[in-house]
Amino acid sequence: MALIFRLAWIQLVQGDKLREEAQEVRMRDVPVDARRGNVYDRNGNELVTSISVDTAYAFPPQIENKEEAAARIAEALGMDKEEVYQKLTQNVGFVWLKRRIDYESAQKLKDLKINGVELVEENKRFYRQGSLAAHVLGFAGDDNQGLIGIESVYDKELRGSPGRIVIEKDAVGRDIPEALHKFIPPVPGNNLVLTIDQTIQYFVERELDKIVETHNPKLAVIIVMDPKTGEILAMGNRPTFEPENWRQYPQQVWDHNPGIWYNYEPGSTFKIITAASALEEGAVRLSDSFYDPGYIKVADRTIRCWQGGGHGSQTFVEVAQNSCNPGFITVGLRLGKDKFYKYINAFGFGNKSGICLPGEEVGILIPQKEATDLNIATMSIGQSIAVTPIQLITAASAVANGGLLLKPTLVKAITSEDGKVLQEFKPEIVRQVISKNTAQTLMELLTSVVQKGTGRNAFVDGYGAAGKTGTAQVVGTGGYAEGKYVASFMGYAPADDPRISVLVMVAEPTGSSYFGSQVAAPVFKAVAQDTLRYLKVPERPHIEKPKYPFVYEEPEIKQVVPNIVNYPVEDARSVLLNNGLNVQIRGQGNIVYDQVPKGGAEVSRGTTVILDLNQPPGTGEQGEVTVPDLRGLTIKEAGTILEKLGLHLSPVGTGLAVRQEVAPGSKVARDTTITVEFEPPEIQVLLD
């Protein structure tokens, strides 16, 4: 009776559980990756594919002498012996040894003929063009999963369904006669057809390399879009990386796509939006007259134009050609806060563009209820607002498309393994932002900017061009960073019927050239000219060329040398470098006792200032400190310098230091408190 009861308990109550446990002991289940789908450009050129490679795995219960096996396996696969031994001694039925190994290693492992060690075929991503469009394509990880870029967004479509190899062994891993051997095949992933054109992308990458070689910027972005469809024809960034070897690059290089992530003040390229809004609302006409004395006063601030002496009397057409800041500020103030914000929002600023890439930023927009007349004035010329490159080209392309704002797209279609179209993506209209008449008028205006204004270096031979240059300062701690600029050009070609929109953005170029007309406009010309010829767009022989040779003479920027006598040497160096000046140290010490040129001298940017650290005789009285000149510094900067000298700061007001209670050069006892008055700075605009 006891045996019958026990048999019933095992068979009827625990039968299913014990059957599963027994199956786990004798069944070996090896996963088989599905072949990840290919990625093609718009013309069917293969950009990304998967190639077959071997992966090593083991059944630990079958391996008898694990220590010896670990040593032999480690040598064949180039692994650490201890790492292999730990894997072989795990209390599991299956373990990966090394994924996606090379052919030579696979052959060495086969030759070992170790019972319980096998190879299985897996897939490895292969990027046929190296770093071409790296941030767009992204890359996949070891487990066949997309990690960034298109590989991540369309991971489900590309990945497919994995298969399995099922092998039956006995409890100690020996072969069973007539054992079950079953192969469940994987289902390959679908393919993607992008809007990217491989040849146009090559033009972009070529010009980005030239930018790096010539200007060595912090970042550079070029985007080419079809304004009639919203399709991205090319998107490139610098710095870049090779997707196949992404682990060899710092995370900050591949983790963010600057084309959709980098927030920057667009400068004069944003005047396209200001002009579109004002023309649509009737706040300005092309024939309206303006007078630019070189500055304009808004609230309690004086905003100066990049052209020091001003542009004098001019029509709005000439305001656009000259990129006149007071003129555009006047137009923005005429438009008013409510209407200006209406169009800023309508053009998509302050929101994601909707492009199918991860990590897109929304820009920075002052809340409408908090915006002042001063904010409206500076936003009119592309300051006090931050945008991303994809936002700007998407918005500006509406001007070349009869006022229609389109969603930017990167994927044309999803296809099956045999090429059948499973899903197709059509142009997606977001809204009508401005009328066709306004768009046509603005295109003619922007054409004149290239024909006769600051954008002449962007003229495309045989086709003409329309567009706008921009040079904006980079926002730093407590204001704008001295000597750091973003040079850009937003343009269209051909001028009479745009086939492409191109944005060139170069952040923090080094050297003497940093204006958009010098750095970005020629790049636009090179990309646009090659692209239009490649697309076989007929030339327009009737388009009049600007007079050549053309050299756009930017105003020479003079720099007043700060008085940094009595500064700690590192602070002095920082102040001079931030003001676009070079530094040479003479002598040894921690305090600057003299400088050449003297403080207040007017010199060209890049001039070298010699700092003398040698202490003059009679200046080392015990307990006395010489008070430095703090004018022009922020509260934080002034407080830091005084603290290093053993003095204390008593600030009055906000902004930059304009007056100090104790005159520079005076000697005071340590622990003395220095009262310094601070006032908001004059806004000096440097935009072309």
Q: Tell me which of 268, 380, 448, 517 is the catalytic residue.
A: 268
Q: Is 397 a catalytic residue?
A: no
Q: Which helix (H) or strand (E) holds 20?
A: helix 15-26
Alpha-carbon distance values, 643 to 522, 619, 632, 655 (Å): 48, 20, 17, 19
Q: Which residues contact 120 (CB under 8 A, 6 or more apart)?
A: 30, 32, 54, 55, 57, 165
Other Cβ atoms within 10 Å of 609 Cβ, number: 25
Cα–Cα distance between 617 and 626 in angstroms, integer?
14
Other Cβ atoms within 10 Å of 612 Cβ, number: 17
Residue 220's closest CA among 135, 148, 147, 150?
135
Helix (H, G, I), strand (E, B) or coil at 363: coil
Cα–Cα distance between 231 and 195 in angstroms, integer?
6
Indicate left, alpha or beta for 344 from its phi (over 0: left) and psi (-120 to 50: alpha): alpha
Cα–Cα distance between 575 and 352 in angstroms, integer?
37
Burial class (CB in 10 A: 0-12, 13-18, 19+), 67: exposed
Q: Which residues contact 143 (CB under 8 A, 6 or more apart)?
A: none
Which amino acid is it at 221?
V
How are beta strands 602-604 and 558-560 bridged, if at all?
Answer: antiparallel
**Residue 467, φ and ψ in degrees, nearest 5:** 165, -170
In the structure encoding, which two tokens stand for residue 618, read together? Answer: 């009679």
Other Cβ atoms within 10 Å of 104 Cβ, number: 10
**Contact by Cβ (8 Å): 421, 433:** no
In the structure encoding, which two tokens stand for residue 64, read together? Answer: 């008898």
Cα–Cα distance between 335 and 279 in angstroms, integer?
9
Catalytic residues: 268
